[in-house]
Amino acid sequence: MQRKYIVVTGGVLSGLGKGIAMASIGNILSSSYEVVPIKCDGYLNVDPGTMNPIEHGEVFVLDDGGEVDMDFGHYERFLGVTCKSDSNLTMGRVFNDILNKERRGEFLGQTVQMVPHVSEFIQDYLVDKVEGSGADVGLIEIGGTVGDMENELYLHAVKHLPRRVGRENVVFAHLTYVPVLSGVNEQKSKPTQMAIAEMGQRGIEPDIIIARCESMLSDNVRGKIARSAGLNPEDVITGLDVNDVYDIPMVFERQGMSQLLARKLDIPVRADLGEWARLVENKRNFSGEVNVALAGKYMNLEDSYASIVEALNHCSAHYGTKINIDFIDTESGLDGIEKASGVIVPGGFGSRGLEGKIVAAKYCRENKVPYLGICLGLQTAVVEYARNVCGLEGANTVEVDAGTKYPVIDIMESQKDIKNKGGTMRLGSYEAVVEEGSKINKLYGSVDVRERHRHRFEVNPEYHDVLRDKGLRLSGMSPDGKLVEFVELDDHPYFVATQGHPELKSSLLAPAPLFRGFVEACINYEGKK
């Protein structure tokens, strides 16, 4: 089959859910084809690893250790694929590569210019990545909104894709917005028409328009939009507002997205959304509720814990249980924790709020409340255990207290001299050998487990035996036995923590095992109340 390309752009305003729209198109295609998602971001950071999660949302980590935009979370969850870090192209990376190439003299004395050099670099990059992946369809998302200065070079580049790979092999899908004016209660097509014109000025004629709107587009508005783009009304899809983004593939499919893609790409497309739709429905028809306390910081932006929220969401569908998430900012106390059916201490950096998390871990351990510690949440549990069970008063993580008498969490030797931020952590997928018969073993159904990591500190090997002797089960270790990957308590319904980030590999069809175990424990806890 001839390789196909779908380029997704956005107009009118940001935050319309381009990542979800693209992931939903991918979801529909993925039952018939292998799809590779690629994202082009306009910012000048070489990767998002050093970007503040308050501003930018969670840093998503891939198997290969790449720190990428959180849209990759949507792609992996919706497409069931494992992405590679070179699928996230940033303008910082583009310029970095171009300038390195120039310094190496590879431009042979030419004047290096935005056009053609930068534009061609991007074109080559996109085609190489899609071809190199072996996928049937390359899905390319251009970040930002058309008209943003920082994305102009990407638009210039994709305009040339049809010439490079054949017009019949490229589909441009443009996501726009149709506001409904209050009072008159009327859908307004003008912003979308203008967004289409903006694309036209850049030499790109969209083949599909997805118009985000709070209601289904009227025939009149759909027709107007279609005419202004030189399209048929069937080429215009309503990107209906929904409460649950997992509904979007069905919203698209009900409007004939698979036939539309088949027609535009000239390939057969058969969507298979049965199991997906059943799980989404299960979430709505829940029986019973649990309250999960998420004890962290950055609480003003749920996005910084997006994958954890998603992993709980997947469990909610799996168990048909409503999961209410209570965000607790441990810097200002633990108010409300007694309502929790279970507590998650998520990943995090720095000292803010750590003492509060330690109290939360103690509360869960002593009161037999389900506890799931993720990365910093494992370190928290270990510090708490060292202090309150092993009697190591003042034990701490070196990240917070460099002079602590009992450095139970310490920096790894191999990381000590790294000053440069970005890519200096234990990043990506690592293997753990899990103790047979442990909870971890049962949950994963395996003794050989892989999860993704993003951290600098580790449980200090000098304290492994002290912790073990006092009853903390170090139930998963790195294959060389040096690094603690999982801990658990025997005499507790669910006190489990991991140095990895299992939420990053969770999906609707296959929720992360540690989250499944946690939610099941929360349900049992509620049942026993």
Residue with Cβ nearer ligand GLN (348 or 353): 348
- Minimum CB–partner distance for residue 63 and ligand GLN (Å): 16
- Minimum CB–partner distance for residue 118 and ligand GLN (Å): 34
Question: Looking at 399, 485, 488, 503, which residue is catalytic?
Answer: 503
- Minimum CB–partner distance for residue 350 and ligand GLN (Å): 7
Eight-state DSSP code of residue 2 = -
Residue with Cβ nearer ligand GLN (346 or 517): 346
CA distance 447 to 434: 5
- Minimum CB–partner distance for residue 269 and ligand GLN (Å): 39
Give, as ranges, the residues between 457 and 516 that touch ligand GLN (CB under 6 A).
Answer: 457
- Minimum CB–partner distance for residue 105 and ligand GLN (Å): 40
Residue number closest to ligand GLN, CB atom: 347
Give, as ranges, the residues between 205 and 264 that touch ligand GLN (CB under 6 A).
Answer: none
> Which tokens sit at 267?
């390939």
What residues contact residue 524 under an 8 Å CB cut-off, 6+ apart?
A: 493
Q: How many residues touch ligand GLN (CB under 6 A)?
A: 10
Q: In DSSP terms, which residues pair with 327 in a beta bridge?
A: 294
Question: Looking at 58, 492, 501, 520, which residue is catalytic?
Answer: 501
- Minimum CB–partner distance for residue 165 and ligand GLN (Å): 40
Site stretch for ligand GLN (CB under 6 A), options 73-81, 135-143, 145-153, 341-349:
341-349
Residue with Cβ nearer ligand GLN (364 or 504): 504
CA distance 53 to 354: 18
Q: How many Cα atoms occupy the beta-carbon half-sphere of 101 within 13 Å?
A: 16
Q: What angle do CA 30, 35, 37 make, to 5 degrees?
A: 125
CB-CB neighbours of 333 under 10 Å = 11
- Cβ–Cβ < 8 Å for 129, 97: no
Residue with Cβ nearer ligand GLN (224 or 455): 455
Residue with Cβ nearer ligand GLN (41 or 503): 503
Of 456, 493, 524, 526, which lies in the binding site for ligand GLN, with binding defined by CB under 6 A? 456
3-class DSSP assignment, residue 324: strand
- Minimum CB–partner distance for residue 454 and ligand GLN (Å): 5
What residues contact residue 307 under an 8 Å CB cut-off, 6+ apart?
A: 58, 60, 70, 73, 501, 503, 504, 506
3-class DSSP assignment, residue 174: strand
Residue with Cβ nearer ligand GLN (318 or 501): 501
The reply to whether 352 sits near ligand GLN by the rule CB under 6 A is: no
Concerning whether 375 is annotated as a catalytic residue, the answer is yes
- Minimum CB–partner distance for residue 348 and ligand GLN (Å): 5
Site stretch for ligand GLN (CB under 6 A), options 31-39, 195-203, 343-351, 380-388:
343-351
CA distance 497 to 305: 17
Site stretch for ligand GLN (CB under 6 A), options 167-175, 332-340, 345-353, 380-388:
345-353
Question: What does the per-residue mask of binding to ligand GLN show for 394-413, with x meaning CB under 6 A?
Answer: -----x--------------
What residues contact residue 432 under an 8 Å CB cut-off, 6+ apart?
A: 448, 449, 450, 451, 476, 477, 478, 479, 485, 486, 500
Of 68, 251, 306, 375, which lies in the binding site for ligand GLN, with binding defined by CB under 6 A? 375
Of 204, 323, 376, 467, which lies in the binding site for ligand GLN, with binding defined by CB under 6 A? 376
The reply to whether 170 sits near ligand GLN by the rule CB under 6 A is: no
Question: Looking at 213, 364, 375, 390, which residue is catalytic?
Answer: 375
3-class DSSP assignment, residue 469: helix
Parallel/antiparallel/unpaired status of strands 186-187 and 180-181: antiparallel
3-class DSSP assignment, residue 32: coil
Concerning whether 503 is annotated as a catalytic residue, the answer is yes
Element of type H or E holding 21: helix 18-30
- Token pair 């990059």: residue: 125
Residue with Cβ nearer ligand GLN (207 or 384): 384
- Cβ–Cβ < 8 Å for 486, 498: yes
- Minimum CB–partner distance for residue 505 and ligand GLN (Å): 15
3-class DSSP assignment, residue 37: strand
The reply to whether 454 sits near ligand GLN by the rule CB under 6 A is: yes
The reply to whether 95 sits near ligand GLN by the rule CB under 6 A is: no
The reply to whether 349 sits near ligand GLN by the rule CB under 6 A is: yes
CA distance 498 to 251: 37
CA distance 387 to 311: 31
Question: What does the per-residue mask of binding to ligand GLN show for 116-135, with x meaning CB under 6 A?
Answer: --------------------
The reply to whether 455 sits near ligand GLN by the rule CB under 6 A is: yes
Site stretch for ligand GLN (CB under 6 A), options 285-293, 453-461, 475-483, 519-527:
453-461
Q: Which of 206, 222, 214, 221 is nearest to 255 (CA)?
A: 222
Concerning whether 501 is annotated as a catalytic residue, the answer is yes
Task: Spell out the alpha helix ranges (H) of 320-449.
Answer: 354-367, 376-388, 439-444
Of 26, 239, 348, 513, which lies in the binding site for ligand GLN, with binding defined by CB under 6 A? 348
The reply to whether 283 sits near ligand GLN by the rule CB under 6 A is: no
CA distance 10 to 26: 17
Beta-strand runs (E) in 104-197:
137-142, 170-177, 180-181, 186-187
3-class DSSP assignment, residue 426: strand
Q: Which of 30, 529, 12 is nearest to 258 (CA)?
A: 30
- Minimum CB–partner distance for residue 526 and ligand GLN (Å): 28
Which parts of this chain interact with ligand GLN (CB under 6 A)? 347-349, 375-376, 399, 454-457
Active site residues: 375, 501, 503
